[in-house]
């Protein structure tokens, strides 16, 4: 196994060489929890956005011992080009946290062709999305709002059980800039406590609704304890297309992508699995793969 050891060492060296500068977004990307309105028509593949019920993977096929052939078959079933598995986590997280200032991150400093996928709010609770992610094993982070998920906390538990963290997106989804420090503290720290109670793990990341925050937000995030970074985004997923901040419409290594738990009522009749398929196709088309955000922040 000398080859794999060499690869791993080279991998670690690469990450150590990364300057731990924070990618701070000066411009908010399109689509921060706003209705999807930027999607342009484009031909799609299967209308259903995934395999038929009879084509769904057998139980256990998505397990840790899954072979490369099984993995490729799973991607084929969902109409997504095969994405490389996530690379091993860096030896040192490239975003430094725990200092005096809460970092605001929209792109992780890395040279690897990886992006990070995030799903916000929690409105749509589609069992086929659970089946899709169980099958594909693409990592993602969920930023959930209590008022939107409290009718079915249980929906998110199988997604969490796949290894996808549940993070803080406030109790009621306000524009925090219109709230006092005390109100922001309640929204942010209250949701941290609620999620800890419901899901048994304490959120470590915070995303402000609409990407809107001010100095009081950073102070409140710090005051909660345990929250180590504010997470924004570089791209936002619409229905068929990715909305890029980059006018050239390219991903860049370490970009964070915003998507939402949305269903037909918000996606002009499309399902969440179709939206996710379209997003993964674009990630594949540009030669990227998806990595777990919490390994890097």
End-to-end Cα distance, the chain: 30
**Strands 235-237 and 255-260, how do they pair?**
parallel
Q: Based on the number of CB atoms within 10 Å of its own CB, is 204 exposed (0-12), middle (13-18) or buried (19 or more)? A: middle
If the CB atoms of residues 236 and 241 are measured against Zn ion, the closer one turns out to be 236
Stretches 90-98, 117-125, 247-255, 261-269: which one binds Zn ion (CB under 5 A)? Answer: 117-125
Distance CA 217, CA 225 (A): 13
Tell me how far, at minimum, the Cβ of 140 lies from Zn ion, in Å. Answer: 15
The residue sitting closest to Zn ion, measured at its beta carbon, is 33
Residue 74 touches Zn ion, criterion: CB under 5 A: no
Residue 263 touches Zn ion, criterion: CB under 5 A: no
What DSSP assignment string belongs to 226-285? S--EEE--SEEE-SSSEEESSTT----TTEEEEEE---TTTTTT--HHHHHHHHHHHHHH
Tell me how far, at minimum, the Cβ of 236 lies from Zn ion, in Å. Answer: 11
x-or-dash string of contact with Zn ion, 190-219, rule CB under 5 A: -------------------x----------
Q: What is the CA radius of gyration of the chain?
A: 19
Tell me how far, at minimum, the Cβ of 209 lies from Zn ion, in Å. Answer: 5
If the CB atoms of residues 119 and 251 are measured against Zn ion, the closer one turns out to be 119
If the CB atoms of residues 33 and 259 are measured against Zn ion, the closer one turns out to be 33
How many residues of this chain interact with Zn ion, rule: CB under 5 A? Answer: 4
If the CB atoms of residues 44 and 186 are measured against Zn ion, the closer one turns out to be 186
Phi, psi of 118 (to 5 degrees): -130, 140
Phi, psi of 163 (to 5 degrees): 105, 10
* Half-sphere CA count of 244, side-chain side, radius 13 A: 14
Residue 31 touches Zn ion, criterion: CB under 5 A: no
Residue 146 touches Zn ion, criterion: CB under 5 A: no
- Chain positions contacting Zn ion, by CB under 5 A: 33, 120-121, 209
């Amino acid at each position: 196994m000398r080859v794999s050891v060499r690869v791993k060492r080279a991998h670690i060296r690469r990450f150590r060489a990364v300057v731990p500068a924070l990618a701070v977004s000066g411009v908010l990307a399109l689509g921060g929890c706003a209705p999807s309105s930027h999607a342009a028509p484009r031909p799609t593949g299967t209308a259903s956005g995934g395999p038929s019920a009879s084509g769904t993977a057998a139980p256990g096929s998505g397990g840790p011992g899954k072979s490369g052939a099984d993995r490729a078959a799973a991607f084929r079933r969902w109409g997504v080009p095969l994405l490389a598995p996530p690379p091993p986590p860096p030896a040192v997280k490239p975003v430094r946290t725990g200092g005096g200032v809460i970092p605001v991150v929209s792109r992780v400093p890395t040279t690897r062709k990886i992006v990070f996928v995030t799903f916000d709010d929690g409105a749509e609770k589609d069992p086929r999305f659970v089946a899709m992610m169980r099958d594909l094993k693409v990592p993602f982070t969920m930023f959930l709002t209590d008022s939107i998920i409290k009718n079915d906390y249980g929906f998110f538990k199988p997604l969490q059980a796949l290894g996808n963290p549940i993070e803080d997106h406030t109790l009621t989804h306000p524009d925090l800039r219109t709230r006092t420090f005390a109100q922001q503290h309640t929204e942010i720290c209250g949701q941290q406590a609620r999620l800890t109670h419901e899901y048994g793990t304490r959120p470590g990341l915070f995303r402000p609704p609409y990407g809107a925050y001010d100095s009081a937000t950073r102070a409140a995030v710090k005051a909660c304890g345990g929250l180590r970074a504010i997470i924004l985004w570089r791209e936002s997923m619409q229905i068929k297309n990715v909305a890029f901040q980059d006018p050239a419409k390219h991903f860049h290594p370490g970009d964070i992508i915003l998507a939402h738990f949305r269903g037909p009522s918000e996606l002009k009749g499309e399902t969440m699995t179709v939206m996710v398929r379209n997003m993964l196709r674009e990630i594949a088309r540009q030669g990227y793969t998806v990595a777990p955000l919490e390994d890097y922040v």
